[in-house]
């Protein structure tokens, strides 16, 4: 029996579908009884991949084939994180994804191929599985965090069990009280250590003003949304992943009040594992359960040989699969037996007088792109796929990834030069300049062979000279304006500080300071030979000690 007064959006869609399907059948019967012209003697059959009525349109592309489209429309804004107002440059920039809000104090991460691509440092390495299920953007979140030992203080590492991160959104329209809803999402896993099995939990609140939720200090469940009296747990599902993989999961739920905002992330249980736990989210689809009845879901990885599409199987309805609106002959089961290349797929179901058509599933075989940089020595050959390269430049190759996807690798190859810029350096007379296995103590030009960081032999020119330093061996402190002071003379910018120590021939200290005027305790010294030690501090903070003798003349 048809619903004469549909009360929900899903019931209205089903009601409309039945009415339109019945009217279409009646129209076809009427035209069969009273043909208007020769062109109407043949009607379009909507599932045989033939243009039966000769109008150039086949199957679903023909307006004669009337069937209402029933597909979930997500209540979550920007449900695949594709709409952006900025490109993430580092972690915690969920604000770059339009419509999303950090629901917790610990912050989720927005990951996008335009910029930041997840954690990659000495302690945290969480490469996301690629390709992403839908588009270029995803979100990463933690379920507890392990803090390593602090080498500076000697403190031990510790686990912050409830360091849990949640992404939140204010819904496009409220979920209605007591209605049955379903959320589907793709969950990404790094590996069994960083991404063990997890219970993904959906929380809700009746007012968007409660987003983000309030975390209470000192509470044993700090970090859990439902610890805020304005938030409730709507549902949860355990998800088991694997190595570098995306898994589709779903939660069905209902609540006795309208829900305006959600937060999604881990459950509230303590993480007792001594590792950082990290996961990825994409493609969140939230709608009434009835609208998922013919929602197409993928089976396996899109590049795998056994990849297929499926809908829920019901014994009391028939199925017909289409590509680009044209029937795929023989594909009349809930699971598509094989893929027929890239394109837009749909499935039609008929139950009693009800004709329903799924939304479009756009199937494309993803291509993974990456860029690498490599340096080699002159004369060497770099093997890149089937290519042997020996010249600097940019190269590309198409390889097969773990899941049989095409992986386009862009290579930037650099050939290290055999001769680098000349090394110009200076030393004081009596010093030695050392570089790798070479030592020099005299000015000159030297050609040496050094090893680069890549192990390449590089010919290098070393130009060595003495600093321009002069220490007089005689002076006359008679205050005639000529050679009245003893000090060290050097090129500008070499010396920052000078300290001169003067000793008599018995070793007694005569003077200490920056320059000597030939006096001792404010009295002129006797003519003769005195010993000096000169400590200089250079502008590069290095120091050097000079020693010798100076003769005082009057």
What CATH number does the domain containing 154 carry?
Answer: 2.60.120.200
Quick check: 384 and 352 in contact, CB under 8 A?
no
176 and 276 belong to one structural domain? yes
Q: What local confidence, expressed as pLDDT, does residue 37 receive?
A: 32
Task: Examine the domain organization and report whether 184 and 323 are in the same domain.
Answer: no
Distance between CA atoms of 291 and 358, rounded to whole angstroms?
10
pLDDT of 401 reads: 61
**What is the span of the domain harbouring residue 209?**
94-293
* Whether residue 214 is found in the same domain as residue 349: no
| 353 and 248 both lie in a single domain | no
Answer yes or no: do 489 and 392 share one domain: no
Let me know: does 211 contact 261? Beta carbons within 8 Å.
Answer: yes
**Cα–Cα dist 60/67, whole Å:** 9
* Number of structural domains found in the chain: 5
Separation of alpha carbons 123 and 380, rounded Å: 35
Residue 24, domain member (yes or no): yes
Task: Report the chain (554 residues): mean pLDDT per 10 consecutive residues.
Answer: 39 48 41 34 87 94 89 94 96 96 94 93 86 93 76 54 88 97 96 92 97 74 81 95 90 97 92 80 95 86 87 92 97 96 94 88 80 84 89 83 72 78 84 91 90 80 90 92 91 88 93 93 93 91 90 90
C-alpha closest to that of 171 among 266, 10, 11, 284: 284
Structure confidence at residue 33 (pLDDT): 29
Residues 331 and 246 in one domain: no
CATH number at residue 532: 2.60.40.1220
Indicate if 247 and 152 belong to the same structural domain.
Answer: yes
Burial of 545 (0-12, 13-18, 19+ CB in 10 A): exposed
Query: What span, in angstroms and rounded, lies between the C-alpha atoms of 72 and 81?
Result: 18
216 in the same domain as 239: yes
The pLDDT of residue 274: 65
Q: What is the pLDDT of residue 74?
A: 95
pLDDT for 366 = 78
3-state class of 518 per DSSP? coil
106 and 232 inside one domain: yes
Q: Are residues 146 and 254 in the same domain?
A: yes
Q: What is the pLDDT of residue 503?
A: 95
What pLDDT, on the 0 to 100 scale, is given for residue 418? 65
Indicate left, alpha or beta for 256 from its phi (over 0: left) and psi (-120 to 50: alpha): alpha
| Residue 34: other Cβ atoms inside 10 A | 8
User: Does 346 share its domain with 381?
Assistant: no
């Amino acid at each position: 029996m048809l619903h004469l007064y549909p009360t929900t959006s899903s019931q209205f869609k089903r009601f409309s579908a039945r009415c339109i399907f019945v009217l279409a059948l009646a129209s076809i019967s009427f035209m069969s009884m009273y043909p208007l012209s020769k062109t109407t003697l043949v009607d379009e059959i909507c599932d045989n991949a033939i243009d039966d009525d000769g109008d150039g349109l086949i199957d679903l592309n023909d307006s004669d084939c009337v069937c209402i489209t029933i597909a979930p429309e997500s209540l979550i804004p920007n449900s695949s994180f594709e709409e952006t107002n900025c490109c993430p440059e580092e972690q915690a920039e969920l604000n770059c994804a339009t419509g999303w809000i950090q629901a917790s104090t610990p912050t989720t991460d927005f990951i996008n191929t335009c910029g930041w691509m997840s954690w990659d440092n000495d302690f945290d390495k969480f490469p996301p599985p690629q390709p992403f299920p839908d588009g270029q953007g995803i979100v990463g979140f933690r379920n507890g965090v392990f803090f390593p030992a602090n080498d500076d203080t000697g403190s031990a590492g510790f686990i912050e069990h409830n360091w849990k991160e949640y992404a939140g959104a204010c819904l496009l329209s409220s979920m209605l009280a007591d209605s049955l809803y379903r959320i589907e999402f793709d969950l990404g896993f790094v590996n069994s250590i960083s991404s063990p099995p997890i219970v993904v939990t959906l929380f809700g609140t009746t007012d968007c003003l409660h987003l983000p939720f309030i975390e209470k200090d000192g509470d044993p469940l700090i970090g859990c949304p439902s610890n805020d009296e304005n938030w409730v747990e709507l549902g949860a599902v355990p998800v088991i992943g694997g190595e570098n993989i995306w898994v589709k999961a779903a939660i069905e739920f209902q609540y006795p009040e309208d829900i305006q905002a959600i937060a999604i992330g881990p459950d509230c249980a303590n993480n007792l594992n001594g590792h950082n736990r990290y996961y990825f989210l994409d493609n969140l689809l939230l709608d009434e359960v009835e609208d998922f009845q013919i929602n197409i879901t993928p089976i396996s990885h899109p590049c795998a040989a056994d990849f297929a599409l499926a809908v829920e199987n019901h014994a009391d309805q028939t199925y017909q699969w289409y590509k680009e609106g044209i029937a795929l002959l023989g594909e009349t089961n809930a699971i598509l037996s094989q893929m027929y290349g890239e394109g837009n797929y749909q499935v039609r179901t008929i139950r009693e007088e009800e004709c329903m058509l799924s939304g479009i599933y756009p199937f494309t075989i993803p291509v993974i792109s990456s860029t690498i940089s490599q340096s080699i020595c002159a004369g060497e050959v770099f093997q890149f796929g089937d290519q042997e390269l020996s010249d600097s430049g940019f190269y590309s190759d198409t390889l097969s990834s773990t899941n049989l996807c095409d992986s386009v690798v862009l290579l930037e190859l650099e050939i290290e030069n055999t001769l680098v810029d000349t090394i110009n350096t200076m030393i004081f007379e009596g010093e030695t300049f050392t570089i790798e296995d070479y030592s020099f103590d005299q000015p000159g030009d030297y050609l040496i062979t050094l090893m680069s960081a890549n192990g390449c032999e590089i010919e290098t020119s070393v130009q060595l000279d003495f600093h321009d330093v002069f220490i007089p061996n005689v002076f006359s402190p008679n205050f005639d304006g000529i050679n009245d002071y003893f000090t060290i003379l050097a090129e500008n910018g070499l010396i920052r500080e000078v300290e001169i120590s003067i000793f008599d021939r018995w070793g007694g200290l005569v003077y200490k300071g920056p320059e000597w005027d030939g006096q001792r305790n404010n009295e002129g010294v006797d003519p003769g030979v005195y010993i000096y030690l000169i400590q200089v501090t250079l502008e590069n903070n290095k120091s050097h000690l000079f020693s010798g003798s100076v003769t005082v003349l009057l």
